[in-house]
Amino acid sequence: MKKQAVNPYLPSFEYVADGELHVFGNRLYIYGSHDTFGATAFCEKDYVCWSAPADDLSDWKCEGVIYRKNQDPMNKKGKMRMFAPDVCKGVDGRYYLYYGLSFSPSISVAVCDEPAGKYEFYGYVKHPDGKLYGRKKGDFFPFDPGIINDNGKVFLYSGFSPDVWYLRLGIDLVSPVKGANGNQVVELENDMLTVKTVKQLIPGTKNSAGTGFEGHEFYEASSIRKFGEKYYFIYSSILSHELAYAVSDYPDRDFRFAGTLHSNAEMYEEKAHNYWGNNHGSIECVNGEEWE
């Protein structure tokens, strides 16, 4: 147990990045990638989960390891990293965890009867013909999935859309990453795996002209929330240091850029300690009144 109501809310030995917060029942759960102290790469560890009572966000509990990276059939030796995950309650009442393995063009799914129990590998998001989503013509590169069960309709959001600045860093991108097209929203069948429809959602730098997203195009880190009758799509913009958001009356279309939630760059400081850095996070409404 850890009593802490201010930042950092997790102990100093813990590195759960790319946080997705969800209230299930009477507890708030934190899901995310898992880093190692002093590592030279992101997301090298198995997934853990932390939770707290929804009415006492100072009383944090480590739920332990909920899913190990070698449980995925593509990663039996555990050499691939599990990037930013998201979780939703499925139409069958079970909990589904969506994640990507390193830069593999696919999205894996694990399932559990409890929000923070021991998840088991379930399958890969796939088209009706069995071909994995991310490997068919027209699919954008799947990365950092966000997931929502909207009254029985399940929508998956993903994409990785770097601009030319990313290439200048000398990073060796895998061939499926074409870049700068934005992201997609996929409606899933009730099995939580099979693609029903695929649509473009937020533009990248290649197709943002006249959309209102200019300068804040999609880069990565898809996250979706519904509050009231509005849908809020939260993402890391092409600026990378900016957590931006868009709003719509629908889960799969007509999103408009609405602003910036947060920036972790000290861009206007004379002696900035953190001029640039990537950003990934989300929001949650707790007890119907608190935004975290």
Spatial strand order in the sheet of 108-112: 86-89, 95-99, 108-112, 120-124
**Which amino acid is it at 88?**
C
The domain containing residue 87 runs over which residues?
73-291
| 88 within a domain of the structure (yes/no) | yes
pLDDT in tens, the chain (292 residues): 445 556 777 888 889 999 999 999 999 999 999 988 888 888 889 999 999 999 998 899 999 999 999 999 999 999 999 999 999 999 999 999 999 999 899 999 999 999 999 999 999 999 999 999 999 999 999 999 999 999 999 999 999 988 755 555 545 444 445 566 899 999 999 999 999 999 999 999 889 999 999 999 999 999 999 999 999 999 999 888 889 999 999 999 999 999 998 888 776 666 666 667 788 889 998 887 755 5
Does the reported pTM lie above 0.85?
A: yes
Neighbours of 236 (CB within 10 A): 23
Q: Please name the residues in contact with 242: beta carbons below 8 A apart, sequence gap of 6 or more.
A: 216, 236, 260, 262, 263, 265, 279
Residue 185 lies in a domain: yes
Give me the catalytic one of 72, 220, 252, 284.
220
Q: Specify the pLDDT at position 11.
A: 84
290 is catalytic: no
Q: For residue 27, is it within any domain?
A: no
Q: Tokens 């996250």 correspond to what residue?
A: 223
Note the pLDDT of residue 178.
58
Q: Say what the pLDDT of residue 275 is.
A: 63
**Which DSSP category does 146 fall into?**
E
Number of domains comprising the chain: 1
Handedness of CA 86, 91, 93, 94 (dihedral sign): negative
Nearest to 180 by CA among 195, 194, 199, 200: 200
Which of 18, 20, 86, 252 is an active site residue? 18
118 SS3 class: coil
And the tokens for 237?
């913009």
Q: How far is CA 93 from CA 51, 96, 282, in A?
A: 19, 9, 23
CATH classification at residue 179: 2.115.10.20
Q: Is the dihedral of CA 150, 50, 122, 199 positive or negative?
A: positive
CB contact at 8 A, 221 and 237: no
- 266 belongs to a structural domain: yes
Q: Is 72 a catalytic residue?
A: no
